[in-house]
Amino acid sequence: MEQVKIAPSMLCADFRRLEEEVAALSAAGVDWLHFDCMDGQFVDNLTYGPLVLEALREGCELYFDAHLMMLNPGRHLRAFANAGADGICIHRETVSGPAGLLDKIKGMGCQAGLAFNPATPLEGLEAIIEYCDYVLLMSVEPGYAGQRFMPGVLKRIEQVRKLIDRAGLDTLIQVDGGITAETARQVIAAGANVLVSGSFFFGHPEGYRAAAEALRGAAQ
Protein backbone atom coordinates (compact mmCIF):
# COMPACT_ATOMS: atom_id res chain seq x y z
CA MET A 1 0.00 0.00 0.00
CA GLU A 2 1.09 3.57 -0.72
CA GLN A 3 3.10 5.29 2.03
CA VAL A 4 0.92 7.39 4.33
CA LYS A 5 0.71 11.04 3.34
CA ILE A 6 0.18 13.85 5.84
CA ALA A 7 -2.18 16.61 4.68
CA PRO A 8 -2.72 19.48 7.14
CA SER A 9 -6.09 21.19 6.69
CA MET A 10 -5.47 24.85 5.88
CA LEU A 11 -8.87 25.64 7.37
CA CYS A 12 -7.08 25.62 10.75
CA ALA A 13 -4.09 27.69 9.66
CA ASP A 14 -3.62 31.31 10.73
CA PHE A 15 -5.26 33.21 7.88
CA ARG A 16 -3.36 36.37 8.84
CA ARG A 17 -0.04 34.78 7.90
CA LEU A 18 -0.75 32.06 5.36
CA GLU A 19 2.54 32.45 3.50
CA GLU A 20 4.48 31.89 6.73
CA GLU A 21 2.24 28.95 7.61
CA VAL A 22 2.94 27.28 4.27
CA ALA A 23 6.69 27.75 4.75
CA ALA A 24 6.50 26.25 8.24
CA LEU A 25 4.44 23.29 7.04
CA SER A 26 6.89 22.63 4.24
CA ALA A 27 9.77 22.72 6.73
CA ALA A 28 7.88 20.28 8.96
CA GLY A 29 7.96 17.68 6.20
CA VAL A 30 4.27 17.34 5.37
CA ASP A 31 3.22 15.95 1.98
CA TRP A 32 0.01 17.71 0.97
CA LEU A 33 -1.79 20.93 1.84
CA HIS A 34 -5.54 20.39 2.03
CA PHE A 35 -7.67 23.40 1.07
CA ASP A 36 -11.33 23.24 2.13
CA CYS A 37 -12.94 25.49 -0.47
CA MET A 38 -16.48 26.15 0.80
CA ASP A 39 -19.16 28.07 -1.07
CA GLY A 40 -21.55 28.85 1.77
CA GLN A 41 -24.23 26.73 0.07
CA PHE A 42 -23.16 23.10 0.15
CA VAL A 43 -21.93 23.85 3.68
CA ASP A 44 -22.68 26.84 5.87
CA ASN A 45 -19.19 28.30 5.89
CA LEU A 46 -17.62 30.43 3.16
CA THR A 47 -13.84 30.13 2.97
CA TYR A 48 -11.55 30.78 0.01
CA GLY A 49 -11.27 30.26 -3.70
CA PRO A 50 -8.56 29.73 -6.30
CA LEU A 51 -6.94 33.14 -5.74
CA VAL A 52 -5.66 31.95 -2.36
CA LEU A 53 -4.10 28.82 -3.86
CA GLU A 54 -2.55 30.89 -6.64
CA ALA A 55 -1.03 33.33 -4.15
CA LEU A 56 0.53 30.50 -2.13
CA ARG A 57 1.62 28.35 -5.07
CA GLU A 58 4.71 30.38 -5.97
CA GLY A 59 7.74 28.93 -4.28
CA CYS A 60 5.88 26.00 -2.71
CA GLU A 61 6.39 22.49 -4.06
CA LEU A 62 3.91 20.71 -1.80
CA TYR A 63 0.91 18.95 -3.30
CA PHE A 64 -2.08 21.33 -3.30
CA ASP A 65 -5.32 19.43 -2.69
CA ALA A 66 -8.42 21.48 -3.50
CA HIS A 67 -11.45 20.01 -1.73
CA LEU A 68 -14.42 21.66 -3.41
CA MET A 69 -17.29 21.79 -0.92
CA MET A 70 -19.47 23.41 -3.55
CA LEU A 71 -22.89 22.80 -5.06
CA ASN A 72 -21.67 23.42 -8.60
CA PRO A 73 -18.03 22.32 -8.69
CA GLY A 74 -17.93 22.04 -12.46
CA ARG A 75 -18.01 25.82 -12.78
CA HIS A 76 -14.76 26.19 -10.87
CA LEU A 77 -12.54 23.34 -12.06
CA ARG A 78 -10.55 25.37 -14.59
CA ALA A 79 -9.94 28.20 -12.10
CA PHE A 80 -8.51 25.82 -9.51
CA ALA A 81 -6.42 23.98 -12.09
CA ASN A 82 -5.00 27.29 -13.35
CA ALA A 83 -4.31 28.36 -9.76
CA GLY A 84 -1.94 25.44 -9.32
CA ALA A 85 -4.03 22.70 -7.69
CA ASP A 86 -2.43 19.27 -8.04
CA GLY A 87 -5.60 17.47 -7.02
CA ILE A 88 -9.23 18.58 -7.24
CA CYS A 89 -11.86 16.73 -5.22
CA ILE A 90 -15.59 17.03 -5.84
CA HIS A 91 -18.42 15.79 -3.63
CA ARG A 92 -20.58 12.85 -4.67
CA GLU A 93 -23.61 14.63 -3.19
CA THR A 94 -23.30 17.50 -5.68
CA VAL A 95 -23.26 15.60 -8.98
CA SER A 96 -25.55 12.91 -10.35
CA GLY A 97 -22.91 11.43 -12.64
CA PRO A 98 -19.39 12.27 -11.41
CA ALA A 99 -17.42 10.32 -14.04
CA GLY A 100 -17.59 13.15 -16.55
CA LEU A 101 -16.28 15.76 -14.12
CA LEU A 102 -13.57 13.44 -12.82
CA ASP A 103 -12.41 12.84 -16.37
CA LYS A 104 -12.47 16.60 -16.99
CA ILE A 105 -10.26 17.19 -13.95
CA LYS A 106 -7.75 14.67 -15.28
CA GLY A 107 -7.84 16.39 -18.67
CA MET A 108 -6.72 19.59 -16.95
CA GLY A 109 -3.59 17.86 -15.68
CA CYS A 110 -4.80 17.37 -12.10
CA GLN A 111 -5.54 14.28 -10.07
CA ALA A 112 -9.24 13.66 -9.52
CA GLY A 113 -10.84 12.99 -6.16
CA LEU A 114 -14.36 12.03 -5.14
CA ALA A 115 -15.60 12.83 -1.62
CA PHE A 116 -18.37 11.15 0.35
CA ASN A 117 -20.10 12.58 3.40
CA PRO A 118 -20.54 10.16 6.33
CA ALA A 119 -24.13 9.27 5.45
CA THR A 120 -23.71 9.08 1.67
CA PRO A 121 -23.97 5.48 0.39
CA LEU A 122 -20.94 4.08 -1.41
CA GLU A 123 -23.08 2.15 -3.87
CA GLY A 124 -22.01 2.88 -7.42
CA LEU A 125 -18.41 3.69 -6.54
CA GLU A 126 -17.15 0.45 -8.05
CA ALA A 127 -18.40 1.52 -11.48
CA ILE A 128 -16.45 4.79 -11.40
CA ILE A 129 -13.45 3.98 -9.20
CA GLU A 130 -11.18 3.89 -12.25
CA TYR A 131 -11.82 7.63 -12.70
CA CYS A 132 -10.64 8.40 -9.15
CA ASP A 133 -7.04 9.05 -8.21
CA TYR A 134 -8.25 9.33 -4.63
CA VAL A 135 -11.43 8.80 -2.66
CA LEU A 136 -12.11 11.12 0.28
CA LEU A 137 -14.18 9.69 3.10
CA MET A 138 -15.42 12.33 5.53
CA SER A 139 -15.25 11.21 9.15
CA VAL A 140 -17.15 14.28 10.36
CA GLU A 141 -19.97 16.34 8.88
CA PRO A 142 -18.35 18.78 6.44
CA GLY A 143 -18.07 22.48 7.10
CA TYR A 144 -16.48 22.92 10.52
CA ALA A 145 -13.15 22.06 12.12
CA GLY A 146 -12.78 20.53 15.56
CA GLN A 147 -15.49 17.87 15.34
CA ARG A 148 -15.27 14.43 16.92
CA PHE A 149 -14.21 11.51 14.71
CA MET A 150 -17.05 9.23 13.61
CA PRO A 151 -15.87 5.62 14.05
CA GLY A 152 -18.44 4.38 11.55
CA VAL A 153 -16.10 5.53 8.79
CA LEU A 154 -13.74 2.65 9.55
CA LYS A 155 -16.03 0.09 7.90
CA ARG A 156 -16.38 2.41 4.92
CA ILE A 157 -12.60 2.63 4.57
CA GLU A 158 -12.36 -1.15 4.64
CA GLN A 159 -15.06 -1.39 2.00
CA VAL A 160 -13.29 1.04 -0.34
CA ARG A 161 -9.91 -0.62 0.29
CA LYS A 162 -11.31 -4.00 -0.77
CA LEU A 163 -12.85 -2.41 -3.85
CA ILE A 164 -9.56 -0.77 -4.88
CA ASP A 165 -7.49 -3.90 -4.24
CA ARG A 166 -9.96 -6.07 -6.12
CA ALA A 167 -9.71 -3.74 -9.10
CA GLY A 168 -5.90 -3.74 -8.96
CA LEU A 169 -5.75 0.06 -8.77
CA ASP A 170 -3.45 2.41 -6.84
CA THR A 171 -6.25 4.80 -5.90
CA LEU A 172 -5.58 6.56 -2.59
CA ILE A 173 -8.01 6.68 0.32
CA GLN A 174 -8.09 10.00 2.11
CA VAL A 175 -9.82 10.52 5.46
CA ASP A 176 -10.82 13.95 6.74
CA GLY A 177 -12.19 14.83 10.17
CA GLY A 178 -11.15 14.26 13.76
CA ILE A 179 -7.76 12.86 12.80
CA THR A 180 -5.39 12.56 15.78
CA ALA A 181 -2.51 10.20 16.48
CA GLU A 182 -5.02 7.76 17.96
CA THR A 183 -7.62 7.87 15.18
CA ALA A 184 -4.85 7.89 12.57
CA ARG A 185 -3.83 4.40 13.71
CA GLN A 186 -7.39 3.21 13.24
CA VAL A 187 -7.91 4.63 9.76
CA ILE A 188 -4.50 3.44 8.54
CA ALA A 189 -5.24 -0.05 9.82
CA ALA A 190 -8.53 0.07 7.92
CA GLY A 191 -6.72 0.93 4.68
CA ALA A 192 -6.42 4.74 4.43
CA ASN A 193 -3.20 6.35 3.22
CA VAL A 194 -3.85 10.14 3.17
CA LEU A 195 -4.58 11.79 6.53
CA VAL A 196 -6.20 15.23 6.64
CA SER A 197 -5.68 16.76 10.07
CA GLY A 198 -6.71 20.21 11.24
CA SER A 199 -7.24 20.91 14.93
CA PHE A 200 -4.83 18.19 16.11
CA PHE A 201 -2.10 19.23 13.71
CA PHE A 202 -2.22 23.00 14.13
CA GLY A 203 -2.89 22.78 17.85
CA HIS A 204 -0.07 20.36 18.67
CA PRO A 205 1.81 21.74 21.69
CA GLU A 206 5.20 20.76 20.27
CA GLY A 207 4.68 22.26 16.84
CA TYR A 208 4.10 21.14 13.28
CA ARG A 209 7.04 18.76 12.92
CA ALA A 210 6.01 16.90 16.07
CA ALA A 211 2.44 16.72 14.80
CA ALA A 212 3.60 15.27 11.48
CA GLU A 213 5.83 12.74 13.26
CA ALA A 214 2.96 11.71 15.55
CA LEU A 215 0.74 11.01 12.56
CA ARG A 216 3.48 9.18 10.67
CA GLY A 217 4.18 7.17 13.81
CA ALA A 218 0.62 5.86 13.60
CA ALA A 219 1.63 4.05 10.44
CA GLN A 220 4.22 2.05 12.39
d(CA 29, CA 31) in angstroms, rounded, equals 7
DSSP secondary structure string for all residues of 152-210? THHHHHHHHHHHHHHHT---EEEEESS--HHHHHHHHHHT--EEEESHHHHT-TT-HHH
Q: Exactly one of 31, 39, 133, 176 is catalytic; which is it? A: 176
Q: Exactly one of 31, 36, 65, 133 is catalytic; which is it? A: 36
Specify the DSSP element, H or E, that contains 66.
strand 63-69
- Residue type present at position 75: R
Q: 110, 140 in Cβ contact below 8 A?
A: no
CA 119 to chain centroid, in Å, comes to: 17
Q: ∠ CA(134), CA(194), CA(66), 5° rounding? A: 60
Cβ within 8 Å of residue 182, ≥6 positions away: 218
Q: 55, 31 in Cβ contact below 8 A?
A: no
Active site residue 39: no
Active site residue 170: no
d(CA 41, CA 53) in angstroms, rounded, equals 21
Q: Which residues are catalytic?
A: 36, 176
